[in-house]
A = this chain, B = another copy of it.
Amino acid sequence: MNNKNEILKHYEVGVFALGGLGEIGKNTYCIEYKNEIIIIDAGVKFPESHLLGIDYVIPDYQYLIENQNKIKGLFITHGHEDHIGGIPFLLKQLKIPKIYAGRLAEGLIKKKLEEHRLTKASEIVIFDDNDIYTFEHMSISFFRTNHSIPDSFGVSVKTPQGMIVHTGDFKFDFTPIGPIADFGKIAKLGERGVLCLLSDSTNSELPEFTMSERKVGESMKDIFRKINNRIIVATFASNIHRIQQIVEASVATNRKIAIFGRSMENTLNVGRGLGYIKCPDDTFITWNQLKYIDEKQVTILCTGSQGEPLAALSRIANGTHRQISIIPGDTVIFSSSPIPGNASSVGRTINRLFRAGADVITHSPLTDTHTSGHAGAEELKLMLQLIKPKFFMPIHGEYRMLKIHTELAVQCGMKSENTHVLDNGQVLALSKNNARVAGNVPSGTVLVDGSGIGDIGNVVIRDRKILSNDGMLVTVINVNLQKKKVLKTPYIVSRGFVYFKDSQELVREIQEVTVNHTHHLLKKHNKMSINQLKNELTDYLATFVYDKVQRKPMIIPVIMNIKQ
């Protein structure tokens, strides 16, 4: 799609993702027409477990860097990390003229840019659902949706070939906390004709209509009423509607609320500042006021619902929190479900809470202490029927979720050939009556570790994997290559292999075979480079160690040629 290698015909609109397809995370969608590109969202992805030591994964922004002059703006659907977390990394690599965001997302992005000292890198414009931004060829407007964070929007992009609708992350909640999804506007888009729908696929596998957020509030109130001791609630810090409901349940049962966890404090400050959290002035107390209040008048609201080892709840459960510990009789409510991969750490936290004498209530069909922010299959069909798109491209999901989402579209009457499951980088070329997969723009993943962006690749990750399994063993050997002599007993350093104090015998043997084999190699080969010597010695020692202890540490001989 750059000049050398046009993959769009001049009249076609290109739609592609740099992140978000075939994965949950790093959502970054682009719509391109002639000299204009608009970007929808710029998220990070949290690394899968095999990416040892990596902090974040972001998209490769190469295509955007090369086409910087076309970029009209970055439009943000909502303030979750997988939609805004990539912004600092994006702004470090290229110029974005303006970032358009809803009110809450704007607050969260501003805070993020302050932390990265990037406040001057771009301008943030707060949009409202009545705003329209018009560029030379495309114009962008918004419709409210419901999701697990306030101010979530879908985006409609009017192009010369037709309307493209991007749902953002959404569900339909008929009894939401906060404003309801704008059915009227969504239906009107459908009536006027939509060329292509891009829709959230996260929960396409679930054959249901996601439970209303309000039901969670009612369940919480019922639970609160039955409890006569302290209540500790853990939930997602960004779910401000949930927090409002926990506040209401507390107020209704005469409880004061103490907050633990930095992100929970941040959200609460932003949320109260924007008027999303409403309660009497004296509802919140500080941790050192806790001791003056009767236990049955206390709610503790904290982070750690995913069992994250450093979050408030985990430290409370461990007994390592400096300000608060479990009092036998406390009830801990998980207003959350474990994200796949976190089930074990959540389980560990619950075990510790029980051990400390707490009762624990988790979300289940019997307790209803949580609901998802994403549309189930029934709501996805409703969106499809309201929008009635010509073409359909499922987004925001792993491959199976995207694929199953297209099956829902077919159930709703779409032709299978009008649905397109794409990979990141693949370009869908749209014109009034046609959609085709036209080619690829560069895409890929970039690993962020500490302050390094992209300086870690497969080799480093592979080495970390080997090191994590069996550790390493360095043997430093001083030789005189010319005299073909090993000068002294090799020095052995090892970490993560065996506990050396208990393995003196093994160390001695390794030293001995190192000397013997080095001698052997030096004598055998007339001329041997240090590199050859290293390679041969590595193989030999690896075999020796494996035969001895059936382990495969990384073997690193360091050979110093010393002329003595």
Q: Which residues of A are interface residues toward B (Cβ below 8 A)?
A: 22, 48-49, 52-53, 207, 340-341, 343-344, 347, 350-352, 354-355, 360, 366, 398-400, 403, 449-452, 455-457, 459-461, 463-472, 474, 476, 478, 491, 493, 495-499, 502-503, 549-551, 554, 556, 558, 560, 562, 564
Contact = CB atoms under 8 A, between A and B. Distances in A.
Contacts of A562: 478, 562
B48 A344 contact: yes
Q: Is the contact region of chain A dominated by helix, strand, or loop, or is it mixed?
A: mixed
B53 A450 contact: no
A398 B499 contact: no
Contact of A459 (B360, B478, B499, B551): B499
Nearest to A553: B53
22 contacts: A49-B49, A53-B470, A53-B551, A207-B366, A341-B344, A343-B343, A351-B399, A351-B400, A354-B400, A355-B399, A449-B551, A452-B498, A455-B499, A457-B499, A460-B499, A463-B495, A464-B467, A464-B496, A467-B471, A467-B472, A474-B493, A491-B558
A48 B398 CA distance: 26
A486 to B, nearest CB: 14
A290 B497 CA distance: 46
Which residue among A49, A344, A503 has the maximum number of chain B CB atoms within 10 Å of its CB? A344
Nearest to A399: B351
Given A350-B400, A562-B562, A460 B497 contact: yes
A474 B557 CA distance: 11
A451 B400 contact: no
A545 to B, nearest CB: 10
A141 to B, nearest CB: 34
A249 to B, nearest CB: 24
Contacts of A499: 455-457, 459-460
Contacts of A556: 474, 493, 495
Stoichiometry (number of copies)? 2
Contacts of A550: 450-452
A467 B467 CA distance: 6
Contact of A452 (B352, B474, B551, B560): B551
Contacts of A449: 470, 551
7 shortest interchain CB distances as A-B pairs: A450-B550, A468-B468, A467-B467, A340-B343, A53-B469, A464-B496, A463-B496
Contact of A464 (B347, B399, B459, B468): B468
A115 to B, nearest CB: 14
Given A49-B49, A351-B398, 15 more contacts: A48-B344, A52-B468, A53-B469, A347-B400, A360-B400, A450-B549, A451-B550, A452-B498, A455-B498, A455-B503, A457-B499, A463-B471, A464-B468, A464-B469, A474-B493
Contacts of A347: 340, 398, 400
Contacts of A403: 354
A556 B467 CA distance: 15
Nearest to A355: B399
B551 A450 contact: yes
A207 B365 CA distance: 11
Contacts of A456: 498-499
Contacts of A460: 471, 496-499
A24 to B, nearest CB: 10
Contacts of A461: 496
Which residue among A53, A450, A463, A478 has the maximum number of chain B CB atoms within 10 Å of its CB? A53
B351 A344 contact: no
A235 to B, nearest CB: 20
A560 B503 contact: no
A456 B366 CA distance: 44
A350 B401 CA distance: 10
A434 to B, nearest CB: 25
A564 to B, nearest CB: 8
A564 B487 CA distance: 13
Given A340-B343, A549-B450, A551-B449, A495 B476 contact: no
A359 B503 CA distance: 53
Nearest to A351: B399
Contact of A478 (B352, B469, B496, B560): B560
Nearest to A340: B343
